[in-house]
Amino acid sequence: MTTHSEDDKIKLADTDMKKIKVILLLAFPAIIENLFQTILGFVDTYFVSKLGLVEVSAVGVTNAVLAIYFALFMAIGVAANVYIANFLGANKVEKARHIAQQSLILASVFGVITGIITLLFAEELLQLMGIEANVLAAGTMYFKIVAIPSIFMSLMFVASAILRGAGDTKSPMKISIIVNIINAVLDYIFIFGFWVIPGMGIVGAAIATVIARVIGAIGLLLYIQRSELIKFKKEYWKLDKTHMKELMVLGSPAAGERLIMRAGQVVYFSFVVALGTNVFAAHQIAGNIEVFSYMIGYGFATAVTILVGQQLGAGNQQEATKYAKLSAFLAVGFMTIFGALLFFFGEWAGGFFSQDPQVKEDIGTALKVSGVFQPFLAVVLTLTGAFQGANNTKFPMYLTGVGMWAVRTLFVYVLGIKLGWGLLGVWIAIGLDTGLRALVLIIQFKRNRWIVEKTDQREDPESHCHPQTTKENMSSCVNNY
């Protein structure tokens, strides 16, 4: 005969299992989406590696600068994601639609601006990396082709975030799969040549990427239009200064966090470049392998941002906290397993990109260090997602600034250059930064200092849950589960 206490435990376990199911239903499609988005760059690196280490380095430094662009686009996406989740959690459907369209307008503006910057200053931006002349020439050409049409990158980031904010993580996943299949096929054709199409080398890789992104942006916009919750309305295409301000206020710290990270990355990349082209190539290849672990973490971060945003929008702080904890525990579990794979099989995986014995050894060393720090990375990614879902984008920005400049960049120089530890020192420095940020986020979370209260007093013309809000899109009626 069970006691009341045992009954309560059974009910609690049942409730937790339902929450875990909801988290996994949102996280797994997001993981797959992120995985295939990453494969776009991974496939480029794989095919380009067949051209030579100079080309690998050219793509690597270009992606480091592009990451600054991505920071801006992702910041708009973070703000759109959080506001849409909040509004739908509060059953304010029309506000969610309005903010979605305003975020696309803002994304288009930033896409055009970054495209113009690339057109005018591509070579100068890459020179900041301190790369060799042959890498600079190849990188500039690749950078211009990929980044002048930045509007398509921007629209992909923000459109995906809009769909995720509405609880739809499956549609972005489907588009990512299609985009990456197209990219892989076009990569092979344009890089090496096929039939009447001549091989174009690194230029071909850039062209394939652009075509894939154009198709991806169009596909995501079509999915939004088909959504019952966030489909476009003509009147919402008019510029709304209030919503623009909201997006900028919430998104600016998210942009600042990523820009601080990328600016620091540019600096410590220059330290790695100083170790030699082969070492930098090994660093870049190791990063392209390790990034798959980020896809797991970002998947759970996506889920927790949606769920925390919806629960806080509905006024359920206790439920939001529970979702954040469970998401972090799940991410740590999955990423610890992946960390073990990196530790034991990293050098083997590096062999797919280079047959140089020293490069392979360096890749293996870097990934062993990465494997050890995977649980800490899981905490950083998921709790950052929770903070953002709670409208707290400033604290992660401040923490990233301290970690990047006071820990990572400093220790990359001290350990990697000054003490002569090379790539081992570089990756230990990265791990120390990750560990510190994980510890601080846990402390802040336990002290209940992760939520920023937001109020919105404007009248909503349609504050109700749409009748078709079901498990299909996991939207504002998440409490039905």
Q: Which residue has the tokens 């199409």?
A: 197
- Per-residue confidence band for 321, with pLDDT thresholds at 50, 70 and 90: very high
Based on DSSP, count helices (H) and strands (E) in the chain, helices before strands. Answer: 15, 0
Range ranked top by mean pLDDT from 132-136, 193-197, 305-309: 305-309
CB 26 within 8 A of CB 474: yes
Integer angstrom CA distances of residue 444 from 310, 319, 407: 21, 18, 19
Least confidently predicted of 47-56, 282-291, 355-364? 47-56
Q: What is the pLDDT of residue 165?
A: 84
- Per-residue confidence band for 2, with pLDDT thresholds at 50, 70 and 90: very low
Tens of pLDDT, residue by residue over 231-280, are: 777 766 677 777 777 787 777 787 778 778 777 777 787 788 878 878 88
Residue 9 clears pLDDT 50, i.e. is over it: no
Q: In the chain, what are the domain boundaries?
A: 16-451
CA-to-CA distance for 318 and 308, rounded, in angstroms? 10
pTM of the model: 0.75
Instruction: Give me 265's structure tokens.
Output: 């990355």
For 13-36, the DSSP string reads: HHHHHHHHHHHHHHHHHHHHHHHH
Q: What is the pLDDT of residue 235?
A: 66
CA-to-CA distance for 219 and 207, rounded, in angstroms? 19
Tens of pLDDT, residue by residue over 369-406, are: 999 999 999 999 999 999 988 888 889 889 988 998 88
User: 110 in the Ramachandran plot: left (φ > 0), alpha (ψ -120 to 50) or beta?
Assistant: alpha
Residue 129 clears pLDDT 80, i.e. is over it: no
Q: What is the pLDDT of residue 256?
A: 79
For a pLDDT cut of 70, what percent of the chain falls above it?
87
Q: What is the pLDDT of residue 39?
A: 66
Q: What is the pLDDT of residue 280?
A: 82
**How many residues are recorded in the chain?**
481
